[in-house]
Amino acid sequence: MKKPSAMKLHAAAILIVFWLGIFTIDTVKGSIGSQPMRKFSCVNLSTQQLNIRKLVSYEKREVPVEAIMFITTKGIKICVSPKEKWVQTAMKKIDEKRTRGK
């Protein structure tokens, strides 16, 4: 029996390393891509009163601070204190729009 030449072993080793590299990259990309995106969290609260007509939605946030996150017609997310009177009014108006739309 003939022994495989050093050149053939070298080529086989390169192919194995190449395929392992491709497999590893594909696996890493898949695991990162399958993770859910982090939710937007409120760290700073805006003190400015917003135009209620430009608000389309809101979400209640409790971590890291208690806040209401308003979403504008342009998709901008702004966090405000839930204790402000205008915030309560805006939330009611958005809720009314939602119930009328159904």
29/38 Cα distance (integer angstroms) = 17
Cβ–Cβ < 8 Å for 71, 56: yes
Going by C-alpha positions, the residue among 81, 77, 24, 23 that lies closest to residue 54 is 77
What is the pLDDT, as a whole number, of residue 92?
96
Query: Is the entire prediction scored with pTM above 0.85?
Result: no
Going by C-alpha positions, the residue among 74, 79, 73, 75 that lies closest to residue 53 is 73
- pLDDT tens for each residue of 49-95: 999 999 999 999 998 999 999 999 999 999 999 999 999 999 999 99
